[in-house]
Structure 1
Amino acid sequence: MKSEKELVEGILSGSEKSLRIFYGECKPKLTNFIRQRVSNEKDVEELVQDTFMAALEAFRDFTYRSSLYTFLCAIAKRKVIDFYRRKKLKRIIFSQMPAIEPLLSILTTPEDKLDEKLLTQKIEETLNALSPQYRRLLQLKYIEGWSVTKIAQEMTISFKSAESKLFRARQAFVAAYTQE
């Protein structure tokens, strides 16, 4: 078996054999490490692949002060944190606006505080950019917490029509949100 330094140097020089050895030796342990933190198996596999890709990019900076596995786990921890942060942001976009507060409380760095402020501002601007009808639909559903049935009754439209309009309102929100 090659030493970790030989393995990394082999990978950096383009050795397919070194890459296969590295992947074969580290994948099972890394998968278990991530599986302890993420329950969905598809997400686990995606995070394992993302971690390996990030490790390959970071090998040039690897100083051998820790084991290769420790190095991988450090990358995996960041990937898992990013995964949950993205997941939470997606949920917030279509949830009640007060739910932004718990997200904001977990952000700690000045950059994160700025991101928090920008995210809140972006969501408000996006809602304001929508037509009054779409804005009202999204406010009733995600801010007021109304059911589709209640929205349909309030707007004197059928349930299916309310569902359809809500779907279009969400699409308009996503389109406006992603537009720069």
Structure 2
Amino acid sequence: MPSSQTLDQPVSCLAMTTGMARCDESAWRAFHAEYFNWLYAQALLRAPNDGDAAEIVQLTCLRAVRHVKPFECDSEFKNWLRCLMRCVIVDHTRQINRRSLLMEKFTLWQELRNDHSAERRLDNHEAIQGMLAFLPPEDADLIQLKYVEGWSTKELAERGQTTTKAIESKLGRLRKKLKNELSHQQERTAQ
């Protein structure tokens, strides 16, 4: 397409599509000026939802960029664009359905996982409460304040008039002791 040609002058379909195939910017501008509203109207007619029309037009234009070839007449070019749009709509619908199915499966998995983990937490909570009875009272209080009531190590250190490092070290030893006791209890209940 000659560079002196402006968008005000009508562009033949062959000249425009040939220019588009050569990646001529003025040909793509002419394509957008002449066909965007038509493409959008076609997308509104064919799209599953009106909100998807803009995305479908954009995806159709992207496919046109990749696969454009010279067309002799406007009707052939429009039929080709309709074909591209149908493919885009089918792909878009499949993608939405896949996402929807995936989200349903994920939600179900999360619900099942949360139900099981809630039961496990409840069982572990009861087991931990039983194990706390075997700990010295000051250790049981420390575990209770930190993990049940949510005190920070700084608050626990101030309460015990010690350093945060000492509290963290003591909590680490107590966690290890509770973990071992919990695994022994689970082994005993399994037998």
Provide the TM-score with structure 1 as the length reference: 0.51
Distance 1:30 1:4 in 2: 16
Does residue 140 (structure 1) correspond to residue 104 (structure 2)? The answer is no
Within a 5 Å distance, the mapping from 1:96-111 to structure 2 comes to: none
Distance 1:92 1:45 in 2: 24
Distance 1:35 1:46 in 2: 11
Which residue, out of 15, 21, 25, partners 1:12?
21
Q: Per-residue deviation at 1:83? A: 0.4
Amino acid at match of 1:22: F
Provide the TM-score with structure 2 as the length reference: 0.48
Which residue, out of 130, 155, 163, partners 2:119?
155
Runs of 4 or more consecutive aligned structure 1 residues displaced over 6 Å after TM superposition = none
- CA distance 1:33–1:56, change in 2 (3 Å): same
Which residue, out of 95, 99, 108, partners 2:104?
95
Q: 3-state SS of the aligned residue for 1:77?
A: helix
State the match for 2:46 in structure 1.
Answer: 37
Amino acid at match of 2:110: L
Mind listing any 5+ residue stretches in structure 1 that lack a counterpart?
A: 97-126, 128-133, 142-147, 159-180
**Do the aligned partners of 2:71 and 2:77 also contact (CA within 8 Å) in 1?**
no
Mind listing any 5+ residue stretches in structure 2 that lack a counterpart?
A: 1-9, 123-191
Percent identity, aligned pairs only, is 17
Which residue, out of 59, 77, 92, partners 2:86?
77
Distance 1:48 1:70 in 2: 15
Distance 2:77 2:101 in 1: 36
State the match for 1:28 in structure 2.
Answer: 37
Distance 1:16 1:30 in 2: 19
Aligned CA-pair RMSD: 3.3
Distance 2:98 2:53 in 1: 19
